[in-house]
Amino acid sequence: MHNGKARAFTNIALIKYWGKKDQQLILPMNSSLSLTLDAFYTETSVSFSKDYTQDLFYLDGELQDEKATQKVSRFLQLAREQAGIFEHALVYSQNFVPTAAGLASSASGLAALAGACNDALGLNLSTTELSRLARKGSGSACRSIYGGFVEWKKGHSDQSSYALPMASNHWEDDLAMIFILINDKAKKVSSRNGMQQTVETSLYYDDWLKAADADIKKAQEAIENHDFHALGQVTETNCLKMHATTLAASPPFTYWTPDSLKAMNKVYAMRDAGQDCYFTMDAGPNVKVLCQKKDSQKIYEELQKEFPEQQLVMAYAGKGVESLETEVAK
């Protein structure tokens, strides 16, 4: 029996990862930059044993179906090959999400699984190697290996594509991100399918790549200079450019709902009224508001005028993946 357990926090990209050049290895078309947050995380324990006849995956106490287990199994296989230990595994994963957010995160999930496998199989990976392994589970997971500001350098191969923490002198501790959770009953396009469809068909995809390169540089500079306005501006405009690519895809699609627009407009109105805040959105309808910690309470209260408290979650900078004690075998 080989046991391991780890906790990983989710991260939100300020400059988005949007498109793969290699689907199997998960090599991205562009570099991305994120902030790891403290509000959402996953704890995962894994045990490998000769006695198991198949991989089993429990999420929040429920045994998952074949489709959900497949993604985990595919990842376990990579870890098994790396370790040379070919035993099936039992995976218990718990998502810690405030209120009924319904915010499943592949970033924290796959980063925690990578950390748990590293411990269980005695892989002894460096953080760079762990980032590369997590990347092969889900691209954004490679950034959750580290806390604070993180850059995923796109690289050009399995070896050269991984995330690194950014020197910021702890500036991330001065920032906050407020999640506005938006209900969505529409059919969901996963980030995996959405980005692929965009790479293959969007008229604007080449322009997105050019913009992403320039935006990464602006964000790096803003972080270096602790320039909140510059970071907020590039975060918001990069998000808009990513979302513009989906409207020029064939068939076109969007992640925005009327409430997403309501939230974005609220951010614009708050900025017009002198408040320092900027939004970003990922492959779903939720809107995340980037602000400085010193203003976060005031901005939260202002958002509460439009959105009930159950829809709002305050987050601050979070830590990288960490190993947890495994309980004595059951």
Stretch that binds ligand FM0, among 12-20, 54-62, 119-127, 246-254 (CB under 6 A): 12-20
Contacts of 50 (CB under 8 A, 6+ apart): 87
Query: Minimum distance from CB of 69 to ligand FM0 (Å)?
Result: 16
Sign of the Cα torsion 105, 96, 308, 306 reads negative
Q: In a 3-state reduction of DSSP, which class is residue 151?
A: strand
Residue 272: which residues within 8 A CB-CB, separation 6 or more? Answer: none
Q: Is 144 helix (H, G, I), strand (E, B) or coil?
A: helix
- What are the beta bridge partners of residue 43? 7, 94
Taking the C-alpha atoms of residue 6 and residue 37, their distance in angstroms, rounded to an integer, is 16
Strand partners of residue 81: none
Minimum CB separation from ligand FM0 for residue 32, in Å? 5
**Please, which residues have CB within 8 angstroms of residue 139's CB and are 6 or more apart in sequence?**
17, 20, 26, 28, 152
Residues with Cβ within 8 Å of residue 188, at least 6 apart in sequence? 284
| 140 counts as binding ligand FM0 under rule CB under 6 A | yes
**Total residues at the site for ligand FM0 (CB under 6 A)?**
14
Closest to 41 measured CA to CA, from 147, 162, 129: 147
Residue 13 binds to ligand FM0 (criterion: CB under 6 A): yes
Neighbours of 237 (CB within 10 A): 15
Q: Which of 139, 232, 285, 318 is the binder for ligand FM0 (CB under 6 A)?
A: 139
Site string for ligand FM0, 95-134 (x = CB under 6 A): -----------x----------------------------
Rounded to whole angstroms, the Cα distance separating 285 from 288 reads: 10
Stretch that binds ligand FM0, among 11-19, 163-171, 208-216, 221-229 (CB under 6 A): 11-19
- The residue (of 22 and 309) whose beta carbon lies closer to ligand FM0 is 22
Measured over all CA atoms, what is the biggest interatomic distance in the chain, rounded to whole angstroms? Answer: 63
Cβ 319 to ligand FM0 shortest distance, Å: 18
Q: Which residues of the chain form beta strands (DSSP E)?
A: 2-15, 20-22, 27-28, 32-49, 56-59, 62-63, 88-96, 149-153, 162-165, 175-180, 277-280, 287-292, 312-316, 322-323
Is residue 45 involved in binding ligand FM0 (CB under 6 A)? no
x/- map, 281-300, ligand FM0, by CB under 6 A: -xx-----------------
Q: Does 36 sit near ligand FM0 (CB under 6 A)?
A: no
Closest residue to ligand FM0: CB criterion? 139
In whole angstroms, the minimum distance from the beta carbon of 318 to ligand FM0 comes to: 15
Among 88, 192, 271, 319, contact with ligand FM0 (rule: CB under 6 A): 192
Q: How far is the CB of 301 from ligand FM0 (least distance, A)?
A: 28
Q: Which is nearer to ligand FM0, 237 or 275 (CB)?
A: 237
Q: Toward ligand FM0, which CB reaches closer, 3 or 197?
A: 197
Sole binder of ligand FM0 in the list 3, 5, 7, 17 (CB under 6 A): 17
Question: In the window 200-229, what residues touch ligand FM0 (CB under 6 A)?
Answer: none
Q: Which of residues 242-271 bind ligand FM0 (CB under 6 A)?
A: none
Given the rule CB under 6 A, which residues bind ligand FM0? Answer: 13, 16-18, 26, 32, 106, 138-140, 191-192, 282-283
